[in-house]
Structure 1
Amino acid sequence: MADASSAPEAAYAASPVTPINLVLLSLFAILVYLRLKPAAPPTLPRAPPPTVFRTFTPPELVPYNGLNGMPVYLAVRGRVFDVTSGRNFYGPGGPYANFAGRDASRGLACGSFDEDMLTTDLDGPLDKLDDLGDEQMEAMKGWEERFEEKYLVVGRLVAVGSNEAEEAKAQP
């Protein structure tokens, strides 16, 4: 005859409802929930504000030097390029940072990044570059072509007090 005390143990061991099974079932339910729960909708980065072609005078171009969250613009032969994507080169701390927000034509033509290559009188006439030689003009055109390939033209540079500057002021 079988021992009376072994009967309840056999019934307990055969039951699927054990503490370890409850823990495993709970973990399984949590894993299924985490796998099937809806994910948060992906958020796209905000698009940059649209760039409008505009007329700049040298003093109006100066703030576009990459400081205070501003984009980085520079001018070459009267055309203003948005070089913000090259901020490492043209922005604050970059090797060409002194050209940011300025007319870089003479410096690029002469292969010099010194401050004396920049126009000091921002309210005066634009640099006509008449005294540059053929080799310097070719160097500047090479830079200009490189900028055309990589960067967006966002405006033109005109002298303070010129007809173009006055027309630009009159437009809303």
Structure 2
Amino acid sequence: MSLSNPLNLILIPPILYLLYRRLVPSLPSTPSVLPNKYDENVYNWMPARHPDVLCHKSYTPVELAELDGRKNPNCGICLAIMRVGGDGKVSPELERTVFDVSAGASFYGPDGVYGNFAGRDASRGMAKQSFDDDMLTPIEQPLDALADLTPSEIDNMRGWHDHFSRKYIICGDLVNASSM
């Protein structure tokens, strides 16, 4: 073997490395027994506490009202918007999607511009582009059938539903208390 040949010089390091790996066994990179509790002095990929999450379920208007960010700020902020059918029409049977809008608390929280929609069915208000309190159905009454909406208002509502679907977590459906 001649060291004057550049190819030989290039091959020496890989050959030495392979010999070293063959002669010196490697140690396991992870311990064989994992600790059974969190230790701050040891690297641990598990978080100390998992975040609270809302489970996907059917909410009644009374249950949804609890998620307005006022009564229990640690439970999140949710609102509901009706899904529009493929034909562009609304029917009382269509469900309303419940969105967890906690990430937008500055908008939907108690002091936000859309705060009156928190914990409520926002379908009529979103359809009519109105934040007035008279757009909200009292929680003791059955859900608003929205039968009087114009095609452009229905399209507004569909646009808001699509926007929320892309931006917020869907955490359930809003249903009448009588259907549970």
Question: Normalized against structure 1, the TM-score is what?
Answer: 0.67
Show the 5 A alignment for 1:58-73.
Answer: 58-67=61-70, 68-69=72-73, 70-73=75-78
Which residue in the other structure is 1:79 paired with?
A: 97
Corresponding residue number in structure 2 for 1:112: 130
Q: Equivalent residue for 1:31? A: none
1:159 aligns with 2:164: no
Q: Percent identity?
A: 44
The aligned amino acid for 2:67 is: Y
- TM-score between both structures, scaled by the size of structure 2: 0.64
Q: Give CA deviations for 1:54-91 in whole Å, capped at 9, x if unaligned.
A: 11110111010112323000000111000000000001
1:160 Cα shift? 1.4
Partner Cα separation in structure 2 for residue 150 and residue 46 of structure 1: 25
Q: Which of the pair has more CA radius of gyration?
A: 1
Q: CA deviation at 1:124?
A: 2.4
Q: Which digits, 9 at most, give the CA deviation of each residue in 1:32-62, with x for residues without a partner?
A: xxxxxxx966895743223311111101110
Match of 1:136 in 2: 153
Q: What is the aligned residue count?
A: 124
Is 1:47 aligned to residue 65 of structure 2?
Answer: no
Q: Which amino acid aligns with 1:79?
A: T
C-alpha RMSD over aligned residues: 1.8
Alignment match, 1:125: 142
What CA distance in whole angstroms lies between the structure 2 residues aligned with 1:154 and 1:101?
13
Please say if residues 124 and 160 of structure 1, whose CA atoms lie closer than 8 Å, have aligned partners that are also in contact: no
Unmatched runs of 5 consecutive residues or more in structure 2: 1-39, 83-95
Gaps of 5+ in 1: 1-38, 166-172
Which sits farther off after the overlay, 80-89 or 64-73? 64-73
Greater helix proportion: 1
